[in-house]
């Protein structure tokens, strides 16, 4: 289990990075924190001829809170998301989700940008992005663009990122800072989610004015479940159970070694119920720490 | 081959590496620091845990070249030749926190980080924090004793179990 | 065999001798060793469960950078691993070093690439093109035994290595007249020991002397040497096997593997050392598997729940080959023997089958068959209790053996020497606070939570020797262990033992024993093991035997050395040898403590002033002794385990809340080490109960080939343990010692299953009959309980 041979690039500026990306195109993979890429290299599931290391490119690790959002550089680690005060204040759902990523040693090195670019359908960041109405910032030598989370994730390990582009930032809306929930079924601490659910709501005068429910681990990409969202905004007294049932009924999960489709449906019910209850409780308590 | 220059256990190291060389292999084969063990090479077992710029990292999930200009600490840094054991090592010895010793170096480095970042944690928190370091021999009980003792000088004595 | 003074170290919680070096990172494991000129080996393995090898193209691999050789099956076709049981009708298998014309499991080595380093060897191995023509695969026991399924090995009649059957004379009468019967079928998932250190070996061959030296990750250096001698066709005198620090074994490393033979052959051919370090993905498919039993068990009992007869039908999925030195009969035979467990069962009928399938070969894992046997008998006891409406503790008390029963000849012919079964069960009920747990359970149920309590009792045959292994039909009878004790001129001792310490702490416990017998400080005793050139012949470390057998051998050897000390001291002090006593640091005249000589001075005189020795005494303080614990039927450790669990009713995820053990392994040399062994075993048993399983798809592809898919328990999965000890000595062993290394791993499957069943008992009756208890399976039991409860 040793990585295959590759050419290694360590650009020192963003323009240099974009130039290398343009030259290497589909032959290259981008190395961010490496916590998904290195296992794939060691297992030789990935055999790129070029590896481009973002580790020395400055300016990709800032956390800022421009109007109504939090913008996070692609190279920000899971650990920083877990501990950063701006994230805690503006996107507490993201803070909570960060703690579910792997182990501390993984969170110390793994990055948010690497995670969304990798697009593992069981990963946390994609559903946090979906739930927090987020988008992904991409750069190439042709320019910059933002892609809404819903358009970004296309399939297993496949995104809207073009070969010459690099993920530079993630942006999460802050309007859900008071009503959110995150629940994940892990077999063991640090395991990939079998199913994870992120819920973000806007509550106005005691009514759920907006709800977003995103689910990981059930399809080839993270899913938003609009039926569950409608159940939440419908305002019924049994909203949580309605939403959980709606989520369970509207998905057709994959089966694998960690659980059959029918088992995953039950997990979707359980974790949606828990995430929704948390979201509604967070709002009642009026605090953002869940 | 590329030249890297880094600090390992407080000493400068300069070496030529193939970019694909894993940090774990570099430490073990090039520097002879075989205290860092390799148990899975896909990031799950934690045996190869080292500190990079003070934060724990899987040395099997890092290229040596990524450690260029960084500081790396391995188990060999904990107690100098001829000196006594580091207090965390001593706690592991006192509490029988190791058996075959293979997972131990990586575990110790995780505990060094825990002691620096969350020294007040109790047994359940210790278990959560260290769940990325698999031990197959001890059943963990004596490890938790050792960590508890190392962090708080608290009970954690093997003879009280 | 009594020491002259009360022990200073026996029974003491001294810290371990090896810890400093292991904690500092100064341990020396095989992968850490790098001989000059060493080459790296990489095995390319079959990706088919069963296939004909039609063609192999190694040209590109051979031309790849840094490659020194590429070996195919034909290169090593004169060598094989064969392990033949003496049981009648045993069908032999020959495990090739590299597959020649047929592959029989995913992971079987096909090609060996040897290159300048591991990276280059792996690059080249990817260039090998092997054409494998798939054949129907025996993916499980039923498929292998299906009528018309072709035998997997040439000349075979069917796909069982062996089938055996035993019935007591009175079984038919007892079973047919019993007023009640309960039948269950139980499944144990395939899993294994998964030590944190993968396998590794380094072979060197000295062209001048013809000598092989193999550093390898083994628990059994001498047996590996014996096996290598057979496989290589080279006498043992030309083979040195060294097992340095080994990162956990648990049975997985108690075996001769084809890779060890291959590395020796390659090193001889290439004239350079050849090193192979297994990677984790290989470990999951090429290091042996274990534990996959299916038992159909029927208990016949009277109105009080007294068991009148027991019937069992055992099948074990042994994978593709019979492994050395165990043969493919071990688990099936062991399960037959121990299934009646700690109960007063007199009538027994059992059939056992060791089935050959297209899976990774099957070998030892801590507890060998006993976890499955304990699961079966303890699950049966719980079902009998439920059938009669009797409490689970009570039903056991009615059937457990008591003092008056020993020595107990079990219906399978085992001889239980001693025990404290009811006492251990009583004690664990107190230790775990069963009453408190049941109160918590009632509160939890009232709140809609699922909390359950489970328990199990077992007896564990340990330190069984010649008599037992003779009956098991193995080619090498593992009777005894050996120790050599040498005092040197400095007055310090070296104990060389035939066992191996890969975590068990024998480096310390054997030193404790020797220090006591020779009146030395612990620091004055060094224990060595693992190098066949340096240590005495013996079997190695497995089967909960090392402390008892090597411990006994150390006592014998140390006492022989002490006799020389007494003899020479008597001469110097002008006293009678029989009046001399070995005390701490000195040898003195009994009753006259001022007349003494310091041990260190005595040692110096013996080696360096031979003129002061009495006539006929050699200037040598050294003795080598073996110990075979007669009658060889084993010393029986027993234990009772009691745990509580909570189940998430929505997801089925089961969490162990508390776990208590009362164990009786006789007198303890070092209670801290004993507890460490218990805890480690229980955690592995919790893996058996909740997490670990090698899964395969319908064509025999393994699905659990990384740590993401094969789940070992992590720290947050394991609760704090409570432990207490009873100490009933064995009448058979020196010092009354009993083995205990495996015990912790035996009961947890039964205990957790009992607890899960109990957690659901208020919903409806359900029988928990399959391990591991994955969340999905537990949800299935919850559904069944609910549906049974609704229809009841």
pLDDT digits (tens, 9 = 90+) for C494-532: 999 999 999 999 999 999 999 999 999 999 999 999 999
Q: Which of A44, A263, A273 sits opposite C779 (nearest CB)?
A: A263
- A208-231 average pLDDT score: 96
Residue C694 has pLDDT above 50, yes or no: yes
Instruction: Judge whether A187 is closer than 8 Å to chain C, CB to CB.
Output: yes
Average pLDDT of chain C to the nearest whole number: 96
Task: Determine, for residues B92 and C19 on separate chains, whether the beta-carbon distance falls below 8 Å.
Answer: yes
Nearest CA-CA partner of A64 in A80, A41, A43? A80
- pLDDT tens digits, C699-708: 999 999 999 9
Q: Which of B19, B56, B60 sits opposite A42 (nearest CB)?
A: B60
Chain B residues inside the 8 Å CB shell of A3:
20, 22, 63
Above pLDDT 70, what percent of chain C? 100
Task: Determine, for residues B25 and A108 on separate chains, whether the beta-carbon distance falls below 8 Å.
Answer: no
Element (H, E) at B13: strand B11-17
Average pLDDT of chain A to the nearest whole number: 94
Chain C residues inside the 8 Å CB shell of A270:
648, 650-651
Three-class DSSP labels, A37-83: HHHHHHCCCCCCCEEEEHHHCCCCCCEECCCCEEEEECCCEHHHHHH
Q: Which of C280, C709, C714 sits opposite A189 (nearest CB)?
A: C714
Instruction: Judge whether B131 is closer than 8 Å to chain C, CB to CB.
Output: yes
Among C649, C653, C692, most A C-beta atoms within 10 A, so best to mutate, is C653
Hey, which chains touch C, using 3+ CB pairs under 8 Å? A, B
Residue C380 has pLDDT above 90, yes or no: yes
Chain A residues inside the 8 Å CB shell of C122:
1-2, 44
pLDDT at A283: 61
- C314-338 average pLDDT score: 96
Among C509, C674, C676, C710, most B C-beta atoms within 10 A, so best to mutate, is C676
Task: Determine, for residues A270 and C717 on separate chains, whether the beta-carbon distance falls below 8 Å.
Answer: no
Instruction: Judge whether B159 is closer than 8 Å to chain A, CB to CB.
Output: no
What is each CA distance from A2 to A6, A109, A218, in whole angstroms? 12, 20, 31
Q: Which of C25, C197, C707 sits opposite B76 (nearest CB)?
A: C25
Q: DSSP states of B57-99 as a string?
A: EEGGGSBGGGGTT-EEE-GGGSS-TTSPPPHHHHHHHHTT--S
Task: Determine, for residues B34 and C29 on separate chains, whether the beta-carbon distance falls below 8 Å.
Answer: yes
- C343-372 average pLDDT score: 98
Of C154-168, C435-449, C530-544, the least confident: C530-544
Alpha carbon of B82: minimum distance to chain A alpha carbons (Å): 30
Measured between CA atoms, the residue of chain C closest to residue A102 is C708
Hey, which chains touch A, using 3+ CB pairs under 8 Å? B, C
Q: Which of B100, B123, B126 sits opposite C248 (nearest CB)?
A: B100
**Within 10 A of A13 (CB to CB), how many other CB atoms are there?**
12
Alpha carbon of C713: minimum distance to chain A alpha carbons (Å): 8
d(CA B39, CA A42): 13
Q: In the A/C pair of chains, how many CB contacts fall below 8 A?
A: 57
Q: Which of C24, C684, C715 sits opposite B79 (nearest CB)?
A: C24
Residue A258 has pLDDT above 50, yes or no: yes
Measured between CA atoms, the residue of chain C closest to residue B108 is C23
Chain A residues inside the 8 Å CB shell of C779:
263, 266
pLDDT at A28: 93
pLDDT at B157: 46
Alpha carbon of A226: minimum distance to chain C alpha carbons (Å): 23
Which sign does the torsion angle of CA C692, C698, C700, C703 carry? Answer: negative
Q: What dihedral do alpha carbons C671, C676, C679, C684 form, nearest 10°?
A: -140
Chain A residues inside the 8 Å CB shell of B135:
none
Of B145-159, C459-473, C643-657, the least confident: B145-159
Q: Which of A6, A31, A39 sits opposite B42 (nearest CB)?
A: A39
Q: Which two tokens stand for residue A50?
A: 């070029």
Chain A residues inside the 8 Å CB shell of B49:
105
Report yes or no: C635 and C710 within 8 Å, Cβ to Cβ.
no
Nearest CA-CA partner of A184 in A215, A208, A154? A215
Residue C632 has pLDDT above 90, yes or no: no
Q: What dihedral do alpha carbons B25, B31, B32, B38 form, nearest 10°?
A: -20
Which sign does the torsion angle of CA C497, C503, C504, C510 carry? Answer: positive
Nearest CA-CA partner of A199 in A211, A209, A188? A211
Task: Determine, for residues A257 and C704 on separate chains, whether the beta-carbon distance falls below 8 Å.
Answer: yes
pLDDT at B161: 37
Measured between CA atoms, the residue of chain C closest to residue B31 is C32
Chain B residues inside the 8 Å CB shell of C194:
136
Nearest CA-CA partner of C351 in C316, C300, C381? C316
What is each CA distance from A242 to A128, A231, B119, in whole angstroms? 22, 6, 43
Residue A286 has pLDDT above 80, yes or no: no
Chain C residues inside the 8 Å CB shell of A260:
776
The distance in angstroms from the start CA to the end CA of chain A is 41
- C436-452 average pLDDT score: 98
Measured between CA atoms, the residue of chain C closest to residue B37 is C197
d(CA C440, CA C438): 5
- Does the model's ipTM exceed the 0.95 cut? yes
Q: Where residue C1 falls among pLDDT bands split at 50, 70, 90?
A: low
What is each CA distance from C556 to A3, C376, C428, in whole angstroms? 53, 40, 36
d(CA C258, CA C286): 10
- pLDDT tens digits, C473-482: 888 888 899 9
Q: Which two tokens stand for residue C488?
A: 């040197």
Q: Which of B25, B35, B40 sits opposite C26 (nearest CB)?
A: B35
Phi, then psi, of C549 in degrees rounded to 5: -80, -50
Three-class DSSP labels, C52-76: EEEEEECHHHHHCCCEEEEEEHHHH
Instruction: Judge whether B35 is closer than 8 Å to chain C, CB to CB.
Output: yes
pLDDT at A284: 54
pLDDT at B154: 54
pLDDT tens track, chain B, 161 positions: 999 999 999 999 999 999 999 999 999 999 999 999 999 999 999 999 999 999 999 999 999 999 999 999 999 999 987 789 999 999 999 999 999 999 999 999 999 999 999 999 999 999 999 999 999 999 999 999 999 999 987 554 444 43
d(CA C49, CA C106): 5
Alpha carbon of A44: minimum distance to chain B alpha carbons (Å): 11
Contacts for B123-128: CB closer than 8 Å, 24+ residues apart = B123/B148, B123/C720, B124/C716, B126/B151, B126/C715, B127/C715, B127/C716, B127/C718, B128/A189, B128/C715, B128/C716
Q: Which of C651, C691, C708 sits opposite A267 (nearest CB)?
A: C651
Instruction: Judge whether A273 is closer than 8 Å to chain C, CB to CB.
Output: yes
Count of all residues that appear for chain A in the document: 290
Task: Determine, for residues B138 and C675 on separate chains, whether the beta-carbon distance falls below 8 Å.
Answer: no
Task: Determine, for residues A188 and C716 on separate chains, whether the beta-carbon distance falls below 8 Å.
Answer: yes
Chain B residues inside the 8 Å CB shell of C671:
159
Residue A289 has pLDDT above 70, yes or no: no
Task: Determine, for residues C281 and A1 on separate chains, whether the beta-carbon distance falls below 8 Å.
Answer: yes
Phi, then psi, of C621 in degrees rounded to 5: -115, 75
Global pTM value? 0.97
Q: Which of B20, B52, B61 sits opposite A5 (nearest CB)?
A: B20
Nearest CA-CA partner of A60 in A7, A9, A114, A104? A114
Among B22, B63, B113, most A C-beta atoms within 10 A, so best to mutate, is B63
pLDDT at A290: 34
Chain C residues inside the 8 Å CB shell of A273:
650
CA C474 to chain centre: 16
């Amino acid at each position: 289990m040793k990585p295959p041979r590759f050419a290694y690039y360590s650009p020192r500026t963003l323009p240099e990075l974009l130039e290398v990306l343009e030259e290497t195109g589909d032959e290259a993979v981008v190395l961010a924190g490496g916590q998904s890429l290195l296992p794939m290299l060691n297992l030789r599931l990935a055999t790129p001829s070029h590896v481009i290391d973002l580790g020395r490119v400055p300016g990709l690790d800032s956390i800022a809170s421009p109007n109504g959002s939090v913008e996070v550089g692609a190279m920000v680690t899971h650990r920083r998301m877990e501990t950063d005060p701006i994230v805690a204040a503006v996107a507490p759902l993201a803070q909570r989700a960060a703690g579910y990523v792997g182990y501390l040693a993984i969170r110390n090195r793994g990055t948010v940008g690497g995670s969304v670019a990798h697009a593992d359908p069981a990963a946390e960041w994609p559903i946090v992005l979906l739930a927090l109405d987020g988008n992904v910032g991409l750069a190439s030598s042709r320019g910059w663009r933002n892609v809404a989370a819903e358009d970004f994730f296309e399939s297993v390990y496949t995104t809207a990122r073009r070969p010459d582009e690099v993920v530079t930032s993630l942006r999460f809306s802050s309007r859900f800072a008071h009503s959110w929930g995150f629940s994940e079924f892990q077999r063991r601490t640090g395991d990939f989610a079998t199913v994870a659910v992120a819920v973000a709501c806007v509550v106005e005068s005691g009514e759920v004015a907006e709800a977003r429910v995103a689910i990981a681990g059930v399809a080839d990409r993270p899913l938003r479940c609009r039926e569950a969202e409608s159940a939440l905004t419908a305002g019924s007294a049994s909203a949580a159970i309605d939403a959980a049932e709606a989520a369970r009924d509207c998905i057709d999960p994959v089966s694998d070694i960690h659980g059959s489709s029918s088992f995953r449906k039950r997990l979707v019910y359980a974790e949606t119920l828990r995430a929704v209850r948390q979201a509604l409780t967070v709002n009642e308590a009026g605090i953002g720490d869940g | 081959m590329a030249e890297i220059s880094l600090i390992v256990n407080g000493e400068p190291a300069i070496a030529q590496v193939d970019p694909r060389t894993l940090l774990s292999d570099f430490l073990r084969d090039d520097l002879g620091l075989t205290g860092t063990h390799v148990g899975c090479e896909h990031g799950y077992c934690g045996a190869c845990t080292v500190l990079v710029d003070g934060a724990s990292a899987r040395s099997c999930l890092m290229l040596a070249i990524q450690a260029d200009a960084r500081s790396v600490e391995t188990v060999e840094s904990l107690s100098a030749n001829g000196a006594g054991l580091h207090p965390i090592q001593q706690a592991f010895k006192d509490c029988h926190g190791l058996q075959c010793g293979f997972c131990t170096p990586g575990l110790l480095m995780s505990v060094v980080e825990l002691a620096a970042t969350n020294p007040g944690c109790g047994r359940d928190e210790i278990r959560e924090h260290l769940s990325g370091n698999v031990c197959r021999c001890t059943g963990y009980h004596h490890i938790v004793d050792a960590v508890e003792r190392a962090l708080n000088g608290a009970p954690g004595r093997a003879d009280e179990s | 065999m009594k020491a002259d003074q009360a022990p200073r170290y026996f029974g003491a919680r001294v810290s371990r001798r090896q810890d400093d070096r292991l904690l500092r990172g100064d341990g020396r494991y095989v992968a850490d060793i790098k001989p000059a000129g060493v080459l790296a080996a990489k095995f390319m393995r079959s990706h088919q469960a069963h296939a004909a090898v039609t063609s192999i193209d190694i040209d590109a691999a051979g031309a790849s950078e840094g490659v020194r050789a590429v070996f195919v099956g034909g290169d090593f076709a004169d060598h094989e691993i064969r392990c033949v049981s003496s049981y009648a009708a045993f069908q032999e298998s020959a495990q090739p070093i590299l597959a020649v014309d047929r592959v029989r499991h995913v992971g079987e080595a096909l090609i060996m690439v040897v290159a300048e380093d591991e990276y280059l060897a792996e690059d080249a191995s990817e260039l090998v093109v092997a054409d494998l023509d798939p054949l129907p695969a025996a993916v499980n026991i039923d498929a292998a035994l299906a009528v018309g399924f072709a035998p997997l090995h040439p000349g075979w009649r069917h796909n069982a290595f062996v089938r055996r059957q035993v019935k007591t004379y009175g079984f038919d009468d007892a079973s047919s007249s019993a007023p009640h019967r309960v039948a269950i079928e139980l499944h144990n998932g395939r899993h294994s020991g998964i030590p944190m250190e993968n396998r590794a070996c380094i072979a060197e061959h000295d062209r001048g002397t013809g000598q092989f030296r193999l550093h390898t990750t083994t628990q059994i250096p001498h047996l590996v040497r014996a096996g290598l001698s057979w496989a290589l066709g080279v006498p043992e005198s030309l083979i040195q096997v060294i097992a340095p620090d080994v990162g956990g074994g648990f049975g997985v490393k108690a075996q001769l593997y084809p890779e060890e033979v291959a590395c020796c052959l390659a090193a001889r051919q290439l004239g350079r050392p050849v090193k192979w370090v297994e990677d984790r993905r290989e470990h999951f498919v090429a290091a042996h598997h274990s534990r996959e039993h299916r038992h159909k068990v029927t208990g016949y009992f009277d109105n009080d729940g007294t068991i009148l007869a027991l019937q069992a039908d055992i099948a074990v999925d042994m994978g593709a080959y019979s492994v050395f030195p165990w043969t493919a009969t071990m688990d099936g035979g062991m399960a037959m023997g121990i299934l009646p467990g700690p109960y007063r069962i007199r009538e027994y009928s059992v059939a056992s089958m060791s089935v050959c399938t297209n899976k990774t070969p099957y070998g030892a894992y801590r507890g060998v068959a006993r976890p499955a046997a304990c699961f079966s008998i303890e699950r049966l006891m719980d079902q009998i209790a439920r059938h009669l409406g009797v409490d689970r503790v009570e039903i056991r008390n009615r059937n457990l053996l008591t003092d008056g029963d020993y020595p107990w000849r079990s219906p399978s012919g085992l001889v239980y020497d001693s025990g404290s079964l009811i006492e251990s069960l009583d004690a664990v009920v107190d230790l775990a606070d069963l009453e408190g747990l049941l109160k918590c359970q009632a509160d939890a149920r009232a709140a809609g939570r699922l909390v359950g309590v489970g328990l199990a009792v077992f007896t564990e045959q340990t330190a069984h020797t010649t008599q037992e292994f003779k009956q098991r039909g193995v080619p090498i009878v593992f009777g005894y262990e050996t120790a050599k004790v040498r005092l040197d001129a400095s007055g310090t001792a070296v104990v060389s033992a035939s066992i191996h310490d890969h975590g068990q702490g024998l480096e310390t416990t054997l030193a404790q024993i020797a220090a006591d017998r020779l009146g030395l400080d612990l620091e004055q005793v060094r224990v060595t093991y693992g190098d066949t050139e340096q240590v005495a012949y013996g079997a190695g470390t497995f089967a909960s035997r090392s402390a008892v057998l090597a411990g006994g051998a150390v006592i014998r050897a140390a006492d022989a050395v002490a006799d020389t000390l007494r003899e020479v001291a008597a001469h110097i002090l002008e006293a009678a040898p029989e009046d001399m006593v070995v005390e701490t640091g000195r040898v003195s005249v009994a009753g006259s403590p001022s007349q003494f000589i310091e041990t260190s001075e005595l040692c110096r005189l013996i080696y360096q002033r031979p003129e002061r020795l009495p006539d006929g005494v050699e200037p040598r303080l050294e003795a080598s002794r073996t110990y075979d614990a007669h009658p060889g039927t084993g010393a029986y450790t027993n234990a009772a385990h009691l745990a509580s669990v909570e189940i998430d009713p929505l997801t089925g995820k089961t969490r162990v809340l508390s776990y208590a053990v009362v164990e009786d392994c006789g007198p303890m040399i070092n209670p801290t080490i004993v507890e460490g062994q218990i805890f480690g075993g229980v955690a592995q048993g919790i893996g058996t109960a909740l997490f670990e399983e090698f899964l395969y798809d319908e064509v025999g592809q393994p699905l659990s080939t990384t740590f993401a898919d094969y789940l070992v328990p992590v720290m947050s999965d394991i609760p704090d343990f409570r432990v207490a000890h009873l100490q009933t000595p064995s009448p058979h062993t020196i010092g009354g010692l009993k083995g205990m290394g495996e015990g912790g791993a035996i009961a947890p499957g039964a205990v957790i299953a009992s607890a899960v069943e109990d957690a659901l008992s208020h919903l409806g009756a359900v029988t928990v009959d399959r391990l591991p208890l994955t969340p999905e399976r537990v949800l299935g039991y919850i559904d069944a309980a609910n549906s049974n409860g609704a229809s009841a």
